[in-house]
Structure 1
Amino acid sequence: MTIVLSKEEIILKVINEKYPVKIHYVEGKTNEMWHCSGINSDYYARITNYKTYEEQFQEVKWTNYLFEHGVGVSPAIYSLEGNIIETGMFPEKKRIVLYKAAPGIHLPRSKWGPQIFKELGRQIGIMHRITKQYEQKESIDHLRDWYENEEYQFLKYIPEEEATIRELSQAIFAKVQALQKNNTTYGLLHADLWLENVLVDDQSKITMIDFQDCEKHYYLYDLVVPIYSALEFSFSGNGNIKDYGHAITESIFEGYLMENNIPSEMLEHFPLFLKLKEIFEYHLMHMYWDKDKLSEEQVRILNHYRIRLENNFSII
Structure 2
Amino acid sequence: MLTDTHIESMAGLFAKNLTSIRNLNGYHNYIYEVCGNRTFILRISKDDNLDATNCEIDFLRYLYKNGCPVAPPVLSLQKKYVHLVNIDEKSYAVSAYKKAVGKDWRTRGIDGRERLIIIGRILGKMHKLSMQYKPCNRKRRRQWDESPHIVKAPGIFVRYNENLLEKFNYYMSRMRKFPKNKDSFGLVHGDFLFSNYFFDENNRISVFDFDECEYSWYIYDIAVCMYYYLLGGRPKELDSKAKEAEEMFYHILLGYISECELDMDCLRNMNLFFQLREYVLLSSVLEASMNNLNGWNKDFVEGAIDRILTGKPFINVDFEEIYNKVARDKL
TM-score, normalization by structure 1: 0.86
Uncovered stretches (5+) of structure 1, i.e. residues with no partner: 1-5
Q: Which sits farther off after the overlay, 300-309 or 175-184?
A: 300-309
- The question of whether the paired residues in 2 share the 8 Å contact of 1:27 and 1:34 is answered with yes
Assess, with a 3 A threshold, how the Cα gap between structure 1 residues 12 and 259 changes in structure 2: closer, same or farther. Answer: same
- The question of whether the paired residues in 2 share the 8 Å contact of 1:12 and 1:24 is answered with no
| Mapped pair 1:61 → 2:58 | yes
Sequence identity percentage = 20
- Provide, for residues 204-252 of structure 1, a one-character-per-residue CA deviation record: whole Å limited to 9, x for no partner: 11122111111111111011000001001278x9xx6221111111111
Instruction: Map residues 226-305 of structure 1 onto 2, 5 A cutoff.
Output: 226-233=225-232, 241-289=241-289, 291-295=290-294, 298-305=297-304
Q: Which sits farther off after the overlay, 193-202 or 106-115?
A: 106-115
Question: What is the RMSD of the two structures over their aligned residues, measured on CA atoms?
Answer: 2.6
Structure 2 counterpart SS, 1:132: helix
Instruction: Map residues 87-102 of structure 1 onto 2, 5 A cutoff.
Output: 87-88=84-85, 93-102=91-100
Query: Residue in 2 aligned with 1:76?
Result: 73
TM-score, normalization by structure 2: 0.83
Query: Residue in 2 aligned with 1:29?
Result: 24
Structure 1 counterpart SS, 2:198: strand
Q: Which sits farther off after the overlay, 29-38 or 69-78?
A: 29-38
Q: d(CA) in 2 for partners of 1:114 and 1:272?
A: 25
| Alpha-carbon offset, residue 93 of structure 1 | 4.8
- The question of whether the paired residues in 2 share the 8 Å contact of 1:198 and 1:208 is answered with yes
Q: d(CA) in 2 for partners of 1:182 and 1:314?
A: 25
- Provide, for residues 32-84 of structure 1, a one-character-per-residue CA deviation record: whole Å limited to 9, x for no partner: 10111235x42110012425111111111211221121112111111222211
Uncovered stretches (5+) of structure 2, i.e. residues with no partner: 316-331
Assess, with a 3 A threshold, how the Cα gap between structure 1 residues 198 and 14 changes in structure 2: closer, same or farther. Answer: closer
Assess, with a 3 A threshold, how the Cα gap between structure 1 residues 204 and 21 changes in structure 2: closer, same or farther. Answer: farther
- The question of whether the paired residues in 2 share the 8 Å contact of 1:122 and 1:256 is answered with yes
| Alpha-carbon offset, residue 284 of structure 1 | 1.9
- Report the AA paired with residue 7 of structure 2: I
- The question of whether the paired residues in 1 share the 8 Å contact of 2:48 and 2:91 is answered with no
Query: Residue in 2 aligned with 1:3?
Result: none
Assess, with a 3 A threshold, how the Cα gap between structure 1 residues 190 and 296 changes in structure 2: closer, same or farther. Answer: closer
- The question of whether the paired residues in 2 share the 8 Å contact of 1:7 and 1:90 is answered with no
Query: Residue in 2 aligned with 1:174?
Result: 173
Q: d(CA) in 1 for partners of 2:102 and 2:246?
A: 26
Query: Residue in 1 aligned with 2:149?
Result: 151
Structure 1 counterpart SS, 2:19: strand
- The question of whether the paired residues in 1 share the 8 Å contact of 2:56 and 2:141 is answered with yes
The number of residue pairs the alignment matches comes to 305
Q: d(CA) in 2 for partners of 1:288 and 1:66?
A: 34
- The question of whether the paired residues in 1 share the 8 Å contact of 2:124 and 2:255 is answered with yes
Q: d(CA) in 2 for partners of 1:183 and 1:87?
A: 34
List, as ranges, runs of 4+ consecutive aligned residues in structure 1 with deviation greater than 6 Å.
Answer: none
